[in-house]
Amino acid sequence: MYVLKFTDSAVADVRLIPKHLRNALRKELLDKVRVDPFGCSKELKEPLKEFRSFQWRGYRVVYRIFPELRAVAIVGVGLRSPQSTANIYRKLERLADAGQLAQGVLFSIRGFSEPPLE
């Protein structure tokens, strides 16, 4: 099992999702991403190569996996429409260019120095 952590930006994204869908998405993240974050997602291309995308219903969840820490840093959540797809990736690319994506990931996994005990 992996620990799921959200960046501040991802938390803001999740708050935009209707509550009934938010709870269902949470369950999917716990049932799938927490158990096998590699198997339920696709690897992204440059400049987000170290990130993966998990698709659920009409939403896309973008995250980075830290296998040595058994942690997943969720960095963005957005709609899956063609226009929205470009928007979430552009937003993450802008954050990466400004160094804020790395900072958000670092803050989200802060305190993990060893894999969590099972």
Q: What is the pLDDT of residue 83?
A: 63
SS3 content of the chain, % helix, strand, coil (to 5): 40, 25, 35
Q: What is the pLDDT of residues 8-20, one digit of tens each?
A: 888 888 998 999 9
CA distances from 16 to 37, 45, 74 (A): 23, 26, 15
Burial class (CB in 10 A: 0-12, 13-18, 19+), 33: buried
In whole angstroms, give the CA distance from residue 43 to residue 14. Answer: 21
Task: For each of the domains in the chain, give its residue range(s) and CATH number, in order of start.
Answer: 3-109 (3.30.2310.20)
Average of pLDDT values for 86-94? 72
CB 58 within 8 A of CB 80: yes
Per residue in 50-76, pLDDT tens? 899 999 998 999 999 989 889 898 988
